Chain A
Amino acid sequence: MRYHAAKTFEEAASIAAKADGVTRFLAGGTDVLVQLRAGLVTPDDLIDLKHIDGVQDITRLDDGGWEIGVAVAGARLGAHEALCADWPGVVEGMELVGSTQVQGRATLTGNLCNGSPAADGVPGLVAAGAVAKIVGPDGMREIPIEEIPAGPGKTTLAKGELIAAVRLPARGAGGGDAYQRFIPRTEMDIAVAGCAINLRVEGDTITEARVAIGAVAPTIRLVPEAAELLVGSTLDAATADALAAAVSAAANPITDKRGTSEFRTEVVGVLARRVAQTAYDRAKGDRS
């Protein structure tokens, strides 16, 4: 295994593009090291991104949005009051990844690039309409987060491409987001089902909504038909039930050691109802 401490994204991309064996990028390392130790993946080239300028930064953009560096650990997201105020759902999703110790290392981008359908950090980004800033041999591009996962353990990134940062849009008035997952214990489990909802209200009425679900399909995905049910409503009981049904209908989970298909399908609907309420309350000004 060759270890590279890249100084720029271009250098990292160049090393990756030229490598002919197994390549891994090291940000938080909480997935890479587990795979390395278990003998599942021993990279030929391991490219450490933490020595690149700005990768630890959380930056407010001119348009009011946010840029989150590739090596920002979950604990730092949670400690950033302004970001938490704008995007509590994004932050709470990332904070559910692993233990306090893991929060000291794990990153949003790593959570995304690991390609797990159950990644807790990702549904919130998808619901928020976040984009990934990608550096590759052909320069830089931006694509929506939901276009990155390609299936369990896979992404759409090409050889030599890597994510330099994640960008969140400006929160704007009347916005609220939330994420919840279901796990059998209270902590330390991989999500059995997850749901993030981001919405905007005018008065009591929802005017915009995005619904993302996790752990119930090969990738984390948007459920636009569920979001449409929310728009125009005041999240009355009938709408919440219809939302739950639509989300369950969009789920296409497997049965595995973590849960049955039937259970996941049902519970993701339950979560959608609960998450919508939290997002709605937050949008109306209750920041809890």
Chain B
Amino acid sequence: MVEVNLWSGMRRFVGDDLTVEVEAETIGEMLDALVAAHPALKPVIDQGVSVAVDGEIHQGRHVPIPQGAEVFLMHRLKGG
């Protein structure tokens, strides 16, 4: 199981609890599982999110999520 920390603006899609547990081994699986559990999140996630796994920010879906990792969903980052 992966515990995913959502941002508080997602409260209106998932209810008050901003940590959601899903079954996943990669970022892609985690995002898919999130949408399966909370379909209202789909448009927000489709717009693009970055995912921090143990403090490192990733864009790719293939990135593995180790057991017990700390996972944060973030707005997609872009630089100049």
Are chains A and B touching directly in their complex (CB below 8 angstroms)? no
B→A interface (CB under 8 Å): none
